[in-house]
Amino acid sequence: MQKLGTTLSSFIIDEQRKLGNKASGEFTGLLNDITIACKGIANLVNKGDLAGVLGATDSENAMGDVQKKMDLIANDLFIDALENNGHCAGMASEELDEVLTLPEGKPRGHYLVTFDPLDGSSNMDINMDVGAIFSVLKAPAGKENPTAKDFAKPGTEQVAAGYCLYGPSSMMVLTTGNGVNGFTLCSSIGEFILTHPNMEIPKDTAEYAINSSNQRFWEPPVQKYIADCVQGEEGPLGKRYNMRWVAAMVGEIHRILCRGGVFLYPIDERNREVGGKLRLLYEGNPMAMIVEQAGGAANTGYGRIMEVQPNGDPHQRVPVIMGSKNEVNKILEYHNVN
Let me know the angle formed at the C-alpha of 309 by 305 and 313, rounded to the nearest 5 degrees: 105
Judging by beta carbons within 10 Å of its beta carbon (0-12, 13-18, 19+), is residue 274 exposed, middle or buried?
middle
Is residue 305 within 8 Å of residue 265, measured between CB atoms? Answer: no
Angstrom distance (rounded) from CA 280 to CA 287: 10
The more confident residue out of 337 and 135 is 135
Interacting residues of 48 by C-beta distance below 8 A, sequence separation 6+? 54, 124, 127
Residue 338 binned pLDDT confidence (cut-offs 50, 70, 90)? very low
Q: Is the pLDDT of residue 61 over 80?
A: no
Name residue 116's beta-bridge partners: 133
* Annotated catalytic residue, options 15, 150, 191, 283: 283
pLDDT of residue 1: 41
Mark whether 207 is an active-site residue. Answer: no
* Torsion sign across C-alpha atoms 66, 72, 78, 79: positive
| Residue pLDDT, tens place only, 305-334 | 999 999 999 999 999 999 999 999 999 999
* Annotated catalytic residue, options 71, 268, 292, 327: 71
Mark whether 252 is an active-site residue. Answer: no
pLDDT of residue 67: 77
pLDDT of residue 241: 97
Angstrom distance (rounded) from CA 193 to CA 195: 6
Q: For residue 8, give Cα distances in angstroms to 17, 79, 190, 199, 291.
A: 14, 21, 11, 15, 20
Residue 337 binned pLDDT confidence (cut-offs 50, 70, 90)? low
Angstrom distance (rounded) from CA 88 to CA 73: 20
Interacting residues of 325 by C-beta distance below 8 A, sequence separation 6+? 201, 203, 295, 296, 297
Is residue 12 within 8 Å of residue 32, measured between CB atoms? Answer: yes
pLDDT of residue 65: 66
pLDDT of residue 125: 85
Mark whether 283 is an active-site residue. Answer: yes
Mean pLDDT for the stretch of residues 168-197: 95
Q: Is the pLDDT of residue 62 over 80?
A: no
Residue 304 binned pLDDT confidence (cut-offs 50, 70, 90)? very high
* Annotated catalytic residue, options 26, 54, 65, 219: 65
Q: Is the pLDDT of residue 273 over 60?
A: yes
The mean pLDDT value of the chain amounts to 92
Element (H, E) at 182: strand 181-186
Q: Is the pLDDT of residue 23 over 60?
A: no
CA atoms in the 13 A half-sphere facing the CB of 11:
26
Mark whether 14 is an active-site residue. Answer: no
Q: Is the pLDDT of residue 127 over 90?
A: no
pLDDT of residue 63: 59
Mark whether 76 is an active-site residue. Answer: no
Q: Is the pLDDT of residue 192 over 80?
A: yes
Mark whether 116 is an active-site residue. Answer: yes
Is residue 329 within 8 Å of residue 205, measured between CB atoms? Answer: no
Residue 58 binned pLDDT confidence (cut-offs 50, 70, 90)? low
* pLDDT > 90 in the chain, percent: 80
Q: Is the pLDDT of residue 60 over 80?
A: no
* Annotated catalytic residue, options 100, 118, 165, 278: 118
Mark whether 292 is an active-site residue. Answer: no
Is residue 151 within 8 Å of residue 166, measured between CB atoms? Answer: no
Would strands 100-101 and 88-93 be described as parallel, antiparallel, or unpaired? Answer: antiparallel
* Annotated catalytic residue, options 33, 119, 252, 327: 119
pLDDT of residue 44: 92
Q: Is the pLDDT of residue 56 over 80?
A: no
Would strands 170-175 and 130-138 be described as parallel, antiparallel, or unpaired? Answer: unpaired
Mark whether 71 is an active-site residue. Answer: yes
Angstrom distance (rounded) from CA 113 to CA 254: 21
